[in-house]
A and B are shown apart, each in its own frame.
Chain A
Amino acid sequence: MNQQRRSVLKYSAVFGLMASAGLISTVQAQEWNKAAFEGKGLDDVFKILGAGSPDKSAAVTLNAPDIAENGAVVPVGITTTAKAEQMAILVEKNPSALAAQFFIPAGTDAFVTTRIKMGQTSNVYGLVKADGKWLMTVKEVKVTLGGCGG
């Protein structure tokens, strides 16, 4: 673990150097990706994320229910056996497809769970960027009408 820590430190030192040299900005990883979150369809978001047309991969697992009792809270998790550096959750039929994205530094597991809103039954995409390459998996989540409806 110590070694891992050190390598991370070294990495961030290099990163910092690059930043101070003006090669990249340190805020880059932090800055909210407005274009991606405002992208309407799947393809728009893929393009903005630099994912092109990601390959479907068995290495990516999307943990999501088959049926959501309520679209306001849909639990979605991504795990992957690939060395993920970035992950994203997209909902095809939401007004803006991208729901959330995550950056996974070394030492953090390629695992994340959150909860999202879905306006209607839709395909949900789990994207993973590993070794510079985007992979994905897809699953349909049914959103049901519940309660007395009043």
Chain B
Amino acid sequence: MQRKLTLGLASGLVAALLTMTSSVSAQKSATDDIAKYREMIADGNPSELYEAAGEELWKKPAGPKNVTLEQCNLGLGPGVVKGAAAQLPRYFKDTNKVQDLESRLMTCMQVLQGRDPEEMIDAPFQKGPKKDMEAIVAYVVTLSKGDKIKVSTAHPKEKEMYDLGKRAFFFQGGPMDFSCASCHAENGKRIRLQDLPNITEQKGAALGWGYWPAYRVSSGQFWTMQQRLNDCFRQQRFPFPIYGSDVTIALSMYMAKTANGGTVETPGLKR
């Protein structure tokens, strides 16, 4: 990206660089201190509280059919939770769709328990049916912690979703002209003191995708990937992305595929 400077300002730039060096060291110590802070809170991730509740919900009969989610197929076969989240999103034959964890869980709730997915889609985050979803997500992703991210684009629908996601990543809109790429397509960038992973590269994508869902310190809430993406779009000043909509799954596919080979560190603990 070119940043044009008029000639008259070029001389100022040299002076600016000179004054910058002293402040850079102050900034470095500030980011080091933030790293220390994160280390201090790393032990004792409140996600554990959600995970425990989620395990209970997973095994509790619910919905009109009064059935548990224990036979839910997250891609590795009915009832296999361990390692499943590390390979999502993926194509599912029964729905003929590429699904992320949350849209897949909605399918399980609909098919196994007879629950209406619209209720889940319309519910606000952190409340009602979404609260249950969030706990279940915490439980499921914890059982992939430490696994390698392994997402396939072998199926044509998976490849298509990936391509759509890549394009959506660069899609600008809203009154601030933002796209995901405005903040997440360059190395070494920060908003305020928060490092921004470069999601267009494997390392950065793993830093982003690998640590969400996470407990968010600033809100004191456990956030699923859908909520994380929702808040990205909110900050981008976009309209509201529908829960489980294709753009959210496409972006997840793009991030996950780019992150392949990285480690699942979920549930994370974030600012």
**Interface residues of A, Cβ cutoff 8 Å to B:** 63, 65-70, 72-73, 75, 115, 142, 144-150
Contacts and interface: CB of A to CB of B under 8 A. Distances in A.
Interface residues of B, number: 19
27 contacts: A65-B37, A65-B40, A66-B33, A67-B30, A67-B34, A67-B193, A69-B34, A69-B37, A69-B38, A69-B194, A70-B271, A72-B218, A73-B217, A73-B220, A75-B40, A142-B33, A144-B30, A144-B193, A146-B192, A146-B193, A147-B191, A147-B192, A147-B218, A147-B271, A148-B191, A148-B235, A149-B192
Nearest to B183: A148
Contacts of B38: 69
A150 to B, nearest CB: 6
Given A69-B37, A149-B192, 20 more contacts: A63-B40, A65-B33, A65-B36, A69-B34, A69-B193, A69-B194, A72-B218, A73-B217, A73-B220, A75-B41, A146-B192, A146-B193, A146-B194, A146-B218, A147-B191, A147-B192, A147-B194, A147-B218, A148-B191, A150-B234
B119 to A, nearest CB: 29
Contacts of A142: 33
Contacts of A149: 192
Contacts of B218: 70, 72, 146-147
A144 B33 CA distance: 11
Task: Tell me what chain A mostly uses at the interface: helix, strand, loop, or mixed.
Answer: loop
A97 to B, nearest CB: 22
Contacts of B192: 144-149
A150 B176 CA distance: 13
Contacts of A70: 217-218, 271
Contacts of A66: 33, 36
Contacts of A75: 37, 40-41
Given A69-B217, A115-B41, A146 B235 contact: no
A67 B220 CA distance: 19
9 closest A-B pairs (Cβ-Cβ)? A65-B37, A67-B33, A75-B40, A73-B217, A66-B33, A148-B235, A70-B218, A70-B217, A69-B271
Contacts of A68: 37
B37 A67 contact: yes
Contacts of B219: 72
Interface in B4-53: 30, 33-34, 36-38, 40-41
Contacts of B220: 72-73
A73 B218 CA distance: 8
Contacts of A72: 217-220
Contacts of A65: 33, 36-37, 40
A146 B271 contact: yes
A73 B46 CA distance: 11
A74 B234 CA distance: 27
Contacts of A73: 41, 217, 220
A23 to B, nearest CB: 40
Contacts of B34: 67, 69, 144
Contacts of A150: 234-235
Nearest to B192: A146
